[in-house]
A and B are shown apart, each in its own frame.
Chain A
Amino acid sequence: MSTPHLLPNGRVLRYSFHERLVHWMAGISYVYLLLTGLAFWSPWLFWIAAALGGAAVSSQLHPWAGLVFVLAVVRMYQLWGAQMKKTPADKAWLEAMPHYVRNEDESMPSVDRFNPGQKILFWGFWWCGLLLLLSGIILWFTDAIPWSLRFLRYFAVIVHPVAALLTIGLFIIHVYMGTAAERGAFGSVVRGDVSRAWAKRHHQSWYESIVGESSAKK
């Protein structure tokens, strides 16, 4: 990539402006989808829809927000798809995951720009996003589906919430990791940069390739 990864202030650029923009386009649309979706999901959460402008409005806007979300995810695929590919090294990392969970990061194998956990998150969102889109379109145009094709509706009312629940699981872990658990990660997706120490600690291979790159330039 053309963006310099080593910034003049000694920090490392982790996400470009473009990447951050796409991330938040997905993030904000997802949160809206999640809140309105949960309102339709459970009578106990129906008040969320009232708070967001009324349930009829939420029902009408939810699918449009879904399209925004899908657009963002497709753009992410273009940006990150290649870097999210499974590599042979991932196996060792996943096997060592109990250490990662216990914050024993010094015992983890070094990883490239994305660790296997992030890859699972990405592909989980990618495939669930596809299911949500397909089932969501059926729910969107429920009334246009002829009686003879009603099995599509029966399929959509199960697939849509199941796929949503899977993403909710990923989302809970993702938000926890990105805010409370992994200090410095949130800044990387807001301001874009991380400290060298952070880069070395969490994405050593990536860090080394950047350092190598910039020293090669000099």
Chain B
Amino acid sequence: MSQATLEIRAISGHAGSVPGAGVKRELEVCKLIDTTTCIGCKACEVACLEWNGLTFSETTFQNSYQTMPETAWNYWNLIKFNEHERDDGSLMLLMRKDQCMHCEEPGCLAACPADGAIVQYANGIVDFQQDRCIGCGYCITGCPFNIPKFSPQARKVFKCTLCADRVTQGLEPACIKSCPTGCLHFGTKAEMKELADHRATQLREHSGFAKAGVYDPSGVGGTHVIYVLHDASDPEVYGGLPADPHVPWTVQLWKKPLKWLGNLAIVAGVAGVFIHYLRYGPKTVPEDLQGGKP
């Protein structure tokens, strides 16, 4: 039996118990992205393609440095470039590395109907198991960050794995390894939070970014990818980073109350007709007319 199953904390579409629930002692990992020191070199984009051996796809041009409009099934790491006009009229070029946020309460996993197609490891990584994926796309609906992407060829969904394969071997993710400015950091969640807070304080006190702060949204239970932002009060300007991300309420309604209400209604319906039959029996026809058996 693979030890890896003992590191699993949550399993999508799963009816039984979880093999690794609370079994292994694991540190929660975290990626820290300091948007204030990113230079938009895209080394991380290339490193991601290289390590994961992804196929090449066409890039697009829309009057910006951005490689394509959003991440793709074969492009998991994308620097979003945003020209932002500040209140004083000066311009800023905001660059944010977009990828899976590895939510503590992942909407993709909650939405997925396939047993084991999405797992959450004890270290916080949320990973897709394509051999179990049925290609229904529910995860796309569940994700508040627009991350899972469908491959029409494979009929499966793909996204950033946080280099789970490297991390289990004690390596940092490929994007972190490639970053030339050191704006990307990797470590335990506690360490990264501390480092991020330290950097945000520095920005507020010494660099004139009064609203600088850390992005670790509580609406999804916190994330295993966190940002330092120049202006944490307005994450939307960083290429649509949601200010208060949540698993969509219709997804929550669908997967919890509606499910149990529906199951109850179906059981009650079947029991109802059965009891009706026991009580009243069939409708018979008095055979007083010609025509024989009904």
Interface of chain A residues 69 through 101 with chain B (CB within 8 A): 101
Contacts of A101 in B (CB 8 A): 276, 280
Q: Is the CB of B258 within 8 A of A183?
A: no
CB of B57 to closest CB in A, whole Å: 15
Chain A hits for B287, CB < 8 A: 195, 197
Number of CB contacts from chain A to chain B under 8 A: 153
Interface digits, A136-174 against B, CB 8 Å rule (1 contact, 0 not)? 000100110001001001111110011001001100110
Nearest CB on B from A64, distance (A): 14
Q: Once the chains are docked, how many angstroms separate the CA of A147 from the CA of B282? A: 54
Q: Which residues of chain A are near B276, meaning CB under 8 Å?
A: 101, 176, 181
Question: Which A residues contact B (CB, under 8 angstroms)?
Answer: 10-12, 39-44, 46, 49, 55-56, 58-60, 101-103, 105, 139, 142-143, 147, 150, 153-158, 161-162, 165, 168-169, 172-173, 176, 180-184, 187, 194-198, 200-202
| Closest B residue by C-beta to A168 | B266
Given A46-B15, A168-B266, answer yes or no on A197-B250 (Cβ-Cβ < 8 Å): no
16 further contact pairs, Cβ within 8 A, besides A43-B15, A172-B273: A39-B113, A43-B13, A43-B113, A46-B115, A55-B114, A142-B136, A142-B138, A147-B70, A150-B141, A153-B141, A154-B141, A154-B248, A157-B250, A157-B251, A173-B273, A184-B294
19 contacts between A and B (CB under 8 A): A10-B290, A40-B136, A43-B13, A56-B134, A56-B155, A103-B281, A139-B136, A142-B136, A143-B152, A157-B138, A158-B254, A158-B258, A161-B254, A162-B258, A172-B266, A176-B276, A197-B294, A200-B289, A202-B283
Out of A143, A161, A198, which one reaches B294, CB within 8 Å? A198
User: Is A176 in contact with B291, judged by CB distance below 8 angstroms?
Assistant: no
The minimal Cβ–Cβ distance linking A68 to chain B, given in whole angstroms, is: 19
Q: Provide the residues of chain B in CB contact with A158, threshold 8 Å.
A: 250, 253-254, 258
CB-based contact A197/B277 at 8 Å:
no
What A residues does B84 contact at CB under 8 A? none
Bound together, the chains give a CA A28 to CA B103 distance in angstroms of 42
Asked if A59 meets B135 with Cβ closer than 8 Å, knowing A43-B15, A155-B250, the reply is yes
Number of B positions contacting A (CB below 8 A)? 55
Chain A residues within an 8 Å CB radius of B198: none
A162: chain B residues at CB < 8 Å are 258
Please measure, in the bound complex, the distance between the C-alpha atom of A168 and the C-alpha atom of B273, giving whole angstroms. 13
| B217 interface residue per 8 A CB criterion | no
Question: Are A197 and B254 CB-contacts (below 8 A) given A46-B113, A58-B134, A181-B282?
Answer: no
Main secondary structure of the interface of B (DSSP, over half): loop
Report the bound CA distance from A91 to B143 in whole Å.
Answer: 49
Within the assembled complex, what's the spacing in Å between the Cα atoms of A2 and B233? Answer: 74
Interface string of B252-271 (1 = CB under 8 A from A): 01100011001101100110
When the two chains form their complex, are residues B254 and A180 in contact, meaning their CB atoms are under 8 A apart? no
Question: Whole-angstrom distance between the alpha carbons of A139 and B277 in the complex?
Answer: 38
Partner of B282, one of A154, A182, A196: A182
Q: Is B137 an interface residue (CB 8 A)?
A: yes
Instruction: State the Cβ distance, B292 to closest chain A Cβ, in Å.
Output: 6
Complex Cα spacing A180 to B155, Å: 42
B188 CB to nearest A CB, Å: 32
For B41-85 the 0/1 string (1 means CB < 8 A from A) is 000000000000000000000000000001000000000000000
Which residues from 141 to 196 on chain B have a C-beta closer than 8 Å to any C-beta of chain A? 141, 146, 149-150, 152, 155
* Contact residue among A12, A55, A153, A197 (Cβ-Cβ distance under 8 Å from B134): A55
In the assembled complex, the Cα of A33 lies from the Cα of B133 at a distance in Å of: 20
> Cβ of B283 and Cβ of A143 under 8 Å apart?
no
Quick one: closest A residue to B286, CB to CB?
A: A197
- B294 and A103 within 8 A (CB): no
CA distance A60 to B114 in the complex (A): 14
Say yes or no: A165 contacts B262, CB within 8 Å: yes
Residue of A nearest to B258 (CB): A161
Provide the bound-state CA to CA distance between A43 and B70, in Å: 32
Knowing A102-B280, A105-B283, A195-B294, say if A147 contacts B289 (CB, 8 Å).
no
